[in-house]
Amino acid sequence: MLRIKGRVLVGPDEVRDELWAVDGRITHERPPGADGATTLTGWALPGLVDAHCHVGLGHQGPVDVATSEKQALTDREAGTLLIRDAGSPSDTRWTDEREDLPKIIRAGRHIARTRRYIRGYAHEIEPGDLVAYVAREARRGDGWVKLVGDWIDRDAGDLAACWPRGEVEAAIAEAHRLGARVTAHCFAEAALRDLVEAGIDCIEHATGLTEDTIPLFAERGVAIVPTLVNIATFPGLADAGEARYPRWSSHMRRLHERRYDTVRAAYDAGIPVFAGTDAGGTLAHGLVADEVAELVKAGIPPLDALSATAWGARRWLGRPVLEEGAPADLVLYDEDPRADVRVLGSPRRVVLNGRVTG
């Protein structure tokens, strides 16, 4: 049994002085036998969410169980206790049996157009097979399906949309019929309108949002996960691709240059924005604090940037916060993270399923 004492941030404006973890669950009432409880003190947040993370994925595709476990443990030590896995070629279902690993909401394996994504990551298919693959991944996942919505078209030498409108519309309808939400990787502008009008639920990266598409996202409540720590790698990618694909390179640089303005404009328009790091393929795990700091740098007020990894993100994913009976997943800090989100970079204690892990 644990007693959490100090300032427990049950909601953005709701602070309690203490709560308890009994048999892995939160209770707000002092339980019998409370005198023997271990007391932890500090500022407590619900376990952080990384809304775009890949467990079981490495540079070249799937990785083994030991590497996947290490990835999940790195996220845990950073305070990430709930992951929305935005596509993995590995079957990580085994982590569900592990009370010491972050909870994972899976989107199955990425679905990409043939030769239009990083090799070894995705099902690479043509549009005629999209509905069938979306149905398959909807059944394999935990309520999400992940599409690659745009990627470099080598013939055009630039980013281009991957899917025709009709097929994507049918595929999203099929996912919804099966109870799954759909998200898509999109760097550029071109794919966004079709995907949103086809009923998509979320866009990853979303660097191509403009004043044309921002109102559409806002009106339909389509969320974005900007993954700014990943967007920071665009200039390096652009340099590497400059000789072969100059048009693509300059496009990537433009998207990068306006990234903060894009995120801020989306936020100002009322588009739900969530924190995701894109850990996995090339990025390190455990960067959630950096991503929240980037959201603040983009101009999102600290409390809302915090909500993008805490209360708001959990609500969006249909998971509990720190209410009575919820799994005791929380992180303790020395200072108030609402005053300065950089506090997230130094968790004092991580509690997962009522157990202190670090």
Per CB under 5 A, the segment of 17-25, 80-88, 236-244, 347-355 that binds Zn ion is: 80-88
Considering beta carbons, is residue 44 or 283 the nearer one to Zn ion? 283
* Integer Cα distance of 332 and 349 in angstroms: 5
Per CB under 5 A, the segment of 82-90, 152-160, 249-257, 286-294 that binds Zn ion is: 82-90
Per CB under 5 A, the segment of 135-143, 256-264, 273-281, 327-335 that binds Zn ion is: 273-281
The minimum distance between CB 87 and Zn ion, in angstroms, equals 6
Considering beta carbons, is residue 75 or 278 the nearer one to Zn ion? 278
* Integer Cα distance of 229 and 108 in angstroms: 23
The minimum distance between CB 86 and Zn ion, in angstroms, equals 5
Report which secondary-structure segment, H or E, holds 325. Answer: none
Per CB under 5 A, the segment of 32-40, 79-87, 162-170, 259-267 that binds Zn ion is: 79-87
Per CB under 5 A, the segment of 66-74, 84-92, 98-106, 162-170 that binds Zn ion is: 84-92
Amino acid at site 349:
R
Among 150, 169, 201, 278, binds Zn ion (CB under 5 A): 278
The minimum distance between CB 171 and Zn ion, in angstroms, equals 19
3-state secondary structure 28-59: CCCCCCHHHCEEEEEEEEECEEEEEECCCEEC
Label residue 39 left, alpha or beta by phi (over 0 means left) and psi (-120 to 50 means alpha).
Answer: beta
Considering beta carbons, is residue 9 or 186 the nearer one to Zn ion? 186
Binding residue count for Zn ion, defined by CB under 5 A:
2
Beta bridge partners of 27: 20
The minimum distance between CB 350 and Zn ion, in angstroms, equals 24
β-pairing, 25-27 vs 57-58, is unpaired
Per CB under 5 A, the segment of 10-18, 83-91, 140-148, 303-311 that binds Zn ion is: 83-91
Tell me: does residue 85 bind Zn ion (CB under 5 A): no
The minimum distance between CB 356 and Zn ion, in angstroms, equals 31
Residue nearest to Zn ion (CB): 278
Considering beta carbons, is residue 158 or 278 the nearer one to Zn ion? 278
β-pairing, 80-85 vs 48-53, is parallel
* Integer Cα distance of 7 and 322 in angstroms: 13
Considering beta carbons, is residue 58 or 327 the nearer one to Zn ion? 58
> Going along the chain, which residue ranges are E strands?
2-9, 15-22, 25-27, 38-46, 48-53, 57-58, 61-62, 80-85, 103-106, 111-113, 123-125, 144-148, 150-153, 158-161, 181-186, 202-205, 223-225, 330-333, 349-352, 355-356
The minimum distance between CB 226 and Zn ion, in angstroms, equals 12
* Integer Cα distance of 207 and 279 in angstroms: 18
The minimum distance between CB 5 and Zn ion, in angstroms, equals 38
The answer for residues whose C-beta is within 8 angstroms of residue 236's C-beta and 6 or more apart is none
The minimum distance between CB 230 and Zn ion, in angstroms, equals 7
**Interface positions with Zn ion (CB under 5 A):** 86, 278
